[in-house]
Amino acid sequence: MANIELIEVFFIDDTKNQLHIHTNDELTMYKLYWTFENDVHTTNKEYLLTSNEKDLIFDFQYSKEKRTYFIFEYENASLLFSYRILPVDGLYNLRDIGGYKTSDGKRIKWGVGFRSDYLIQVQESSMEYIKNLKIKTIIDYRSPDEIEQSPNKNIGENETFVCNPNASIAEMAGALQSGESADGSREHMVDHARKQIANGIENGDENMVRQQLSFVSEPRAQEAFSKALSVLANESHAPSLQHCRGGKDRTGFGLMLLEGILGVSENDMVYDYLLTRKAREEKSKRYYENFLKMAEGDIKVADYMFSLFDTKDIYIQASMKRIKNDYGSICAYAKDVLHIDDEQIEVLKSIYLEDTEI
Protein backbone atom coordinates (compact mmCIF):
# COMPACT_ATOMS: atom_id res chain seq x y z
CA MET A 1 0.00 0.00 0.00
CA ALA A 2 1.15 3.54 -0.73
CA ASN A 3 2.51 5.52 2.21
CA ILE A 4 -0.07 8.28 2.62
CA GLU A 5 1.02 11.02 5.00
CA LEU A 6 -2.15 13.08 4.97
CA ILE A 7 -5.40 13.63 3.08
CA GLU A 8 -7.31 16.89 3.26
CA VAL A 9 -9.71 18.93 1.18
CA PHE A 10 -10.03 22.68 0.65
CA PHE A 11 -13.13 24.46 -0.58
CA ILE A 12 -12.57 26.78 -3.53
CA ASP A 13 -16.11 28.10 -3.69
CA ASP A 14 -19.60 26.80 -2.91
CA THR A 15 -19.30 23.95 -5.42
CA LYS A 16 -15.59 23.57 -6.30
CA ASN A 17 -13.26 21.64 -3.99
CA GLN A 18 -9.61 20.64 -4.03
CA LEU A 19 -8.53 17.21 -2.79
CA HIS A 20 -4.89 16.94 -1.72
CA ILE A 21 -3.31 13.56 -0.94
CA HIS A 22 0.16 13.94 0.58
CA THR A 23 2.24 11.00 -0.68
CA ASN A 24 5.38 10.41 -2.71
CA ASP A 25 4.01 7.12 -4.04
CA GLU A 26 1.90 6.50 -7.12
CA LEU A 27 -1.70 5.62 -6.33
CA THR A 28 -3.89 2.91 -7.77
CA MET A 29 -7.62 3.61 -8.08
CA TYR A 30 -9.45 4.79 -4.96
CA LYS A 31 -13.05 5.72 -4.21
CA LEU A 32 -14.21 8.85 -2.43
CA TYR A 33 -17.44 9.20 -0.43
CA TRP A 34 -19.00 11.96 1.64
CA THR A 35 -20.99 11.77 4.88
CA PHE A 36 -22.24 13.90 7.77
CA GLU A 37 -20.96 11.34 10.26
CA ASN A 38 -17.54 11.43 11.89
CA ASP A 39 -17.21 7.67 11.48
CA VAL A 40 -14.97 5.99 8.94
CA HIS A 41 -17.11 2.84 8.98
CA THR A 42 -20.51 4.50 8.58
CA THR A 43 -22.84 3.01 6.00
CA ASN A 44 -24.60 6.36 5.73
CA LYS A 45 -22.34 7.70 2.99
CA GLU A 46 -22.71 8.87 -0.60
CA TYR A 47 -20.39 8.00 -3.49
CA LEU A 48 -18.51 10.93 -5.02
CA LEU A 49 -15.85 9.72 -7.44
CA THR A 50 -13.18 7.21 -8.43
CA SER A 51 -9.65 8.35 -9.31
CA ASN A 52 -5.94 7.71 -8.85
CA GLU A 53 -4.91 11.38 -8.79
CA LYS A 54 -3.18 12.94 -5.78
CA ASP A 55 -4.46 16.45 -6.47
CA LEU A 56 -7.95 16.76 -7.82
CA ILE A 57 -10.55 19.48 -8.32
CA PHE A 58 -14.05 18.08 -7.91
CA ASP A 59 -17.61 19.35 -7.79
CA PHE A 60 -19.46 19.06 -4.49
CA GLN A 61 -21.76 21.49 -2.73
CA TYR A 62 -21.08 21.29 1.00
CA SER A 63 -23.77 21.87 3.59
CA LYS A 64 -23.84 25.27 5.26
CA GLU A 65 -25.57 23.81 8.32
CA LYS A 66 -23.60 20.63 9.11
CA ARG A 67 -19.97 19.52 8.91
CA THR A 68 -19.11 17.35 5.92
CA TYR A 69 -16.62 14.48 6.19
CA PHE A 70 -15.08 12.42 3.41
CA ILE A 71 -14.06 8.76 3.31
CA PHE A 72 -11.15 7.57 1.19
CA GLU A 73 -11.38 3.87 0.28
CA TYR A 74 -8.15 2.36 -0.99
CA GLU A 75 -6.98 -1.26 -1.25
CA ASN A 76 -9.53 -2.59 1.27
CA ALA A 77 -8.77 0.15 3.80
CA SER A 78 -10.51 3.43 4.64
CA LEU A 79 -9.50 6.82 6.00
CA LEU A 80 -11.79 9.62 7.15
CA PHE A 81 -10.89 13.27 6.60
CA SER A 82 -12.53 16.64 6.08
CA TYR A 83 -12.12 20.26 5.10
CA ARG A 84 -8.90 21.66 6.55
CA ILE A 85 -10.17 25.24 6.50
CA LEU A 86 -13.83 25.27 7.46
CA PRO A 87 -16.36 27.24 5.39
CA VAL A 88 -17.66 29.65 8.04
CA ASP A 89 -18.84 33.10 6.96
CA GLY A 90 -16.82 35.80 8.73
CA LEU A 91 -13.91 33.54 9.72
CA TYR A 92 -11.11 32.96 7.24
CA ASN A 93 -8.81 30.86 9.45
CA LEU A 94 -11.01 28.32 11.25
CA ARG A 95 -9.18 25.04 10.83
CA ASP A 96 -9.34 21.45 12.01
CA ILE A 97 -5.99 19.97 13.10
CA GLY A 98 -7.10 16.42 12.28
CA GLY A 99 -5.28 13.88 10.14
CA TYR A 100 -1.64 14.56 10.97
CA LYS A 101 0.44 11.43 11.54
CA THR A 102 2.41 10.98 14.75
CA SER A 103 5.67 9.23 15.57
CA ASP A 104 3.83 6.23 17.05
CA GLY A 105 1.82 5.63 13.86
CA LYS A 106 -1.44 7.17 15.02
CA ARG A 107 -3.26 10.18 13.60
CA ILE A 108 -4.91 13.21 15.16
CA LYS A 109 -8.67 12.74 15.17
CA TRP A 110 -10.82 15.00 13.04
CA GLY A 111 -13.41 17.10 14.86
CA VAL A 112 -11.59 17.32 18.21
CA GLY A 113 -9.09 20.19 17.89
CA PHE A 114 -9.73 23.50 16.14
CA ARG A 115 -7.85 26.78 15.68
CA SER A 116 -9.11 30.09 14.34
CA ASP A 117 -9.07 33.85 14.18
CA TYR A 118 -11.22 35.76 16.70
CA LEU A 119 -14.90 34.93 16.87
CA ILE A 120 -16.52 38.35 16.83
CA GLN A 121 -16.66 38.07 13.03
CA VAL A 122 -18.81 34.91 12.85
CA GLN A 123 -21.83 35.71 10.70
CA GLU A 124 -25.34 34.62 11.57
CA SER A 125 -25.46 32.70 8.28
CA SER A 126 -22.83 30.28 9.68
CA MET A 127 -23.87 30.18 13.32
CA GLU A 128 -25.75 26.89 12.97
CA TYR A 129 -22.76 25.31 11.20
CA ILE A 130 -20.23 26.35 13.84
CA LYS A 131 -22.50 25.38 16.73
CA ASN A 132 -22.85 21.94 15.15
CA LEU A 133 -19.10 21.47 15.67
CA LYS A 134 -20.01 20.97 19.35
CA ILE A 135 -17.00 22.92 20.61
CA LYS A 136 -17.03 22.77 24.40
CA THR A 137 -14.00 24.86 25.30
CA ILE A 138 -12.32 27.96 23.92
CA ILE A 139 -8.76 28.98 24.71
CA ASP A 140 -8.38 32.70 24.00
CA TYR A 141 -4.77 33.92 23.75
CA ARG A 142 -5.72 37.59 23.39
CA SER A 143 -4.99 40.38 25.86
CA PRO A 144 -7.74 41.87 28.07
CA ASP A 145 -7.77 44.99 25.87
CA GLU A 146 -8.28 42.93 22.72
CA ILE A 147 -11.07 40.94 24.35
CA GLU A 148 -12.79 44.10 25.56
CA GLN A 149 -12.57 45.73 22.12
CA SER A 150 -13.69 42.62 20.21
CA PRO A 151 -15.59 40.19 22.46
CA ASN A 152 -16.23 36.74 21.03
CA LYS A 153 -19.66 35.70 19.89
CA ASN A 154 -20.94 32.63 21.70
CA ILE A 155 -20.68 29.56 19.46
CA GLY A 156 -22.21 27.13 21.94
CA GLU A 157 -19.14 26.62 24.12
CA ASN A 158 -19.37 25.73 27.81
CA GLU A 159 -16.37 27.76 28.94
CA THR A 160 -13.63 30.11 27.76
CA PHE A 161 -10.14 30.16 29.28
CA VAL A 162 -8.06 33.29 28.75
CA CYS A 163 -4.36 32.42 28.38
CA ASN A 164 -2.65 35.72 27.62
CA PRO A 165 1.10 35.33 26.86
CA ASN A 166 1.68 39.11 26.89
CA ALA A 167 2.56 39.21 23.21
CA SER A 168 2.82 42.86 22.13
CA ILE A 169 4.24 42.17 18.65
CA ALA A 170 1.72 39.43 17.92
CA GLU A 171 -1.04 41.72 19.20
CA MET A 172 0.10 44.45 16.83
CA ALA A 173 0.30 41.96 13.97
CA GLY A 174 -3.24 40.82 14.68
CA ALA A 175 -4.47 44.38 14.94
CA LEU A 176 -3.14 45.15 11.48
CA GLN A 177 -5.95 43.06 10.03
CA SER A 178 -8.48 45.69 11.02
CA GLY A 179 -6.19 48.67 10.59
CA GLU A 180 -6.13 49.43 14.29
CA SER A 181 -3.38 49.13 16.86
CA ALA A 182 -3.87 48.05 20.45
CA ASP A 183 -4.54 51.66 21.44
CA GLY A 184 -6.77 52.30 18.45
CA SER A 185 -4.30 54.51 16.60
CA ARG A 186 -3.30 53.76 13.03
CA GLU A 187 -0.66 56.45 13.35
CA HIS A 188 0.95 54.46 16.16
CA MET A 189 1.65 51.53 13.83
CA VAL A 190 2.88 53.71 11.00
CA ASP A 191 5.21 55.56 13.39
CA HIS A 192 6.49 52.24 14.74
CA ALA A 193 7.27 51.06 11.20
CA ARG A 194 9.06 54.31 10.31
CA LYS A 195 11.20 54.15 13.45
CA GLN A 196 12.17 50.55 12.72
CA ILE A 197 13.09 51.41 9.13
CA ALA A 198 15.12 54.42 10.31
CA ASN A 199 17.07 52.02 12.53
CA GLY A 200 17.89 49.86 9.52
CA ILE A 201 15.19 47.24 10.09
CA GLU A 202 13.46 46.83 6.72
CA ASN A 203 10.88 44.24 7.77
CA GLY A 204 9.32 42.73 10.86
CA ASP A 205 11.01 39.34 10.62
CA GLU A 206 13.38 40.06 13.51
CA ASN A 207 10.52 41.20 15.73
CA MET A 208 8.35 38.23 14.83
CA VAL A 209 11.20 35.80 15.56
CA ARG A 210 11.90 37.59 18.84
CA GLN A 211 8.22 37.25 19.73
CA GLN A 212 8.29 33.51 19.10
CA LEU A 213 11.42 33.14 21.22
CA SER A 214 9.77 35.08 24.04
CA PHE A 215 6.98 32.52 24.06
CA VAL A 216 9.61 29.91 24.90
CA SER A 217 11.39 31.79 27.68
CA GLU A 218 9.23 34.53 29.19
CA PRO A 219 7.55 33.50 32.49
CA ARG A 220 4.25 35.19 31.56
CA ALA A 221 4.11 33.26 28.29
CA GLN A 222 5.13 30.00 29.96
CA GLU A 223 2.31 30.43 32.45
CA ALA A 224 -0.21 31.08 29.66
CA PHE A 225 0.76 28.09 27.53
CA SER A 226 1.03 25.82 30.58
CA LYS A 227 -2.53 26.78 31.48
CA ALA A 228 -3.68 26.10 27.92
CA LEU A 229 -2.17 22.62 27.84
CA SER A 230 -3.62 21.82 31.26
CA VAL A 231 -7.06 22.84 30.02
CA LEU A 232 -6.66 20.68 26.92
CA ALA A 233 -5.60 17.69 29.04
CA ASN A 234 -9.15 17.26 30.31
CA GLU A 235 -11.51 15.03 28.37
CA SER A 236 -14.54 17.10 29.39
CA HIS A 237 -13.03 20.11 27.57
CA ALA A 238 -12.98 18.45 24.13
CA PRO A 239 -13.67 19.40 21.39
CA SER A 240 -11.69 22.60 21.90
CA LEU A 241 -10.82 25.68 19.88
CA GLN A 242 -7.68 27.80 20.31
CA HIS A 243 -7.53 31.32 18.90
CA CYS A 244 -5.97 34.75 19.19
CA ARG A 245 -6.82 37.56 16.80
CA GLY A 246 -5.60 36.29 13.45
CA GLY A 247 -4.97 32.70 14.53
CA LYS A 248 -1.30 32.82 13.48
CA ASP A 249 1.39 33.55 16.08
CA ARG A 250 0.02 33.00 19.58
CA THR A 251 -2.31 30.28 18.36
CA GLY A 252 0.46 28.88 16.18
CA PHE A 253 2.80 28.49 19.15
CA GLY A 254 0.07 26.87 21.25
CA LEU A 255 -0.74 24.38 18.49
CA MET A 256 2.94 23.66 17.91
CA LEU A 257 3.23 22.65 21.57
CA LEU A 258 0.17 20.40 21.41
CA GLU A 259 1.18 18.79 18.12
CA GLY A 260 4.74 18.31 19.34
CA ILE A 261 3.53 16.54 22.48
CA LEU A 262 1.32 14.32 20.33
CA GLY A 263 4.29 13.37 18.14
CA VAL A 264 3.54 15.26 14.92
CA SER A 265 6.63 15.69 12.72
CA GLU A 266 8.42 19.04 12.52
CA ASN A 267 7.58 19.29 8.82
CA ASP A 268 3.87 18.85 9.49
CA MET A 269 3.93 21.35 12.36
CA VAL A 270 5.49 23.96 10.07
CA TYR A 271 3.00 23.03 7.32
CA ASP A 272 0.11 23.54 9.74
CA TYR A 273 1.48 26.93 10.81
CA LEU A 274 1.90 28.07 7.21
CA LEU A 275 -1.71 27.23 6.33
CA THR A 276 -2.62 30.68 7.65
CA ARG A 277 -0.99 32.03 4.50
CA LYS A 278 -3.23 29.81 2.36
CA ALA A 279 -6.26 30.89 4.39
CA ARG A 280 -5.38 34.54 3.69
CA GLU A 281 -4.61 34.21 -0.02
CA GLU A 282 -7.57 36.23 -1.21
CA LYS A 283 -7.22 38.81 1.56
CA SER A 284 -3.50 39.51 1.31
CA LYS A 285 -3.67 41.86 -1.68
CA ARG A 286 -6.48 43.86 -0.08
CA TYR A 287 -4.59 44.07 3.20
CA TYR A 288 -1.43 45.30 1.47
CA GLU A 289 -3.41 47.99 -0.32
CA ASN A 290 -4.84 49.03 3.05
CA PHE A 291 -1.35 49.22 4.57
CA LEU A 292 -0.17 51.33 1.62
CA LYS A 293 -3.07 53.70 2.20
CA MET A 294 -2.30 53.91 5.93
CA ALA A 295 1.35 54.68 5.05
CA GLU A 296 0.26 57.39 2.59
CA GLY A 297 1.96 55.62 -0.28
CA ASP A 298 5.24 54.84 1.49
CA ILE A 299 6.10 51.40 0.09
CA LYS A 300 8.78 50.65 2.69
CA VAL A 301 6.37 51.33 5.54
CA ALA A 302 3.64 49.25 3.88
CA ASP A 303 6.12 46.41 3.31
CA TYR A 304 7.17 46.52 6.96
CA MET A 305 3.58 46.37 8.20
CA PHE A 306 2.76 43.54 5.80
CA SER A 307 5.73 41.57 7.13
CA LEU A 308 4.10 41.60 10.59
CA PHE A 309 0.91 40.31 9.02
CA ASP A 310 2.70 37.70 6.89
CA THR A 311 3.18 34.01 7.73
CA LYS A 312 6.76 32.71 7.38
CA ASP A 313 8.26 29.40 8.37
CA ILE A 314 11.23 31.12 10.04
CA TYR A 315 8.92 32.44 12.78
CA ILE A 316 7.69 29.13 14.15
CA GLN A 317 10.96 27.38 13.29
CA ALA A 318 12.81 29.80 15.57
CA SER A 319 10.85 28.70 18.63
CA MET A 320 11.01 25.03 17.63
CA LYS A 321 14.79 25.24 17.23
CA ARG A 322 15.22 27.01 20.59
CA ILE A 323 13.14 24.36 22.36
CA LYS A 324 15.05 21.52 20.69
CA ASN A 325 18.46 23.05 21.44
CA ASP A 326 17.72 23.94 25.07
CA TYR A 327 15.44 21.08 26.13
CA GLY A 328 15.85 18.29 23.58
CA SER A 329 12.21 18.05 22.53
CA ILE A 330 8.85 19.77 22.81
CA CYS A 331 7.67 17.03 25.16
CA ALA A 332 10.66 17.58 27.46
CA TYR A 333 10.03 21.33 27.40
CA ALA A 334 6.38 20.77 28.31
CA LYS A 335 7.43 18.63 31.26
CA ASP A 336 10.43 20.62 32.52
CA VAL A 337 9.22 24.18 31.96
CA LEU A 338 5.44 24.08 31.60
CA HIS A 339 5.04 21.40 34.31
CA ILE A 340 2.85 19.12 32.22
CA ASP A 341 3.20 15.66 33.74
CA ASP A 342 3.19 12.20 32.17
CA GLU A 343 -0.44 11.59 33.13
CA GLN A 344 -1.56 14.78 31.37
CA ILE A 345 0.43 13.82 28.28
CA GLU A 346 -1.28 10.43 28.17
CA VAL A 347 -4.67 12.12 28.55
CA LEU A 348 -3.85 14.44 25.64
CA LYS A 349 -2.93 11.45 23.49
CA SER A 350 -6.12 9.60 24.42
CA ILE A 351 -8.23 12.66 23.55
CA TYR A 352 -6.57 13.59 20.28
CA LEU A 353 -5.10 10.43 18.76
CA GLU A 354 -6.54 7.34 17.10
CA ASP A 355 -5.41 4.28 15.19
CA THR A 356 -6.36 4.28 11.50
CA GLU A 357 -6.32 1.72 8.69
CA ILE A 358 -4.26 3.98 6.44
Tens-place pLDDT, residues 330-356: 999 999 999 999 999 999 999 999 999
Number of Cβ within 10 Å of residue 270's Cβ equals 17
Domain boundaries, given as residue ranges, for the chain: 1-83, 89-354
Mean pLDDT of the chain: 93
Mean pLDDT, rounded, for 241-245: 96
CATH annotation of 1-83: 2.60.40.10
Provide the pLDDT for residue 346.
98
Under 8 Å CB-to-CB from 178, ≥6 apart: which residues?
A: none
Q: What is the CA radius of gyration of the chain?
A: 20
For the cut 80, the answer to whether the pLDDT of residue 301 exceeds it is yes
How does residue 186 score in pLDDT terms, banded at 50, 70 and 90? Answer: low
Tens-place pLDDT, residues 57-98: 999 999 999 999 999 999 999 999 999 999 999 999 999 999
Q: State how far the alpha carbon of 78 is from the alpha carbons of 62, 68, 146, 288, 289, in Å.
A: 21, 16, 44, 43, 45
d(CA 2, CA 315): 33
Provide the pLDDT for residue 204.
77
Fold of 89-354: Protein-Tyrosine Phosphatase; Chain A (3.90.190)
How does residue 178 score in pLDDT terms, banded at 50, 70 and 90? Answer: low
Provide the pLDDT for residue 206.
85
d(CA 349, CA 352): 5
Contact present, 83 and 111 (Cβ < 8 Å): no
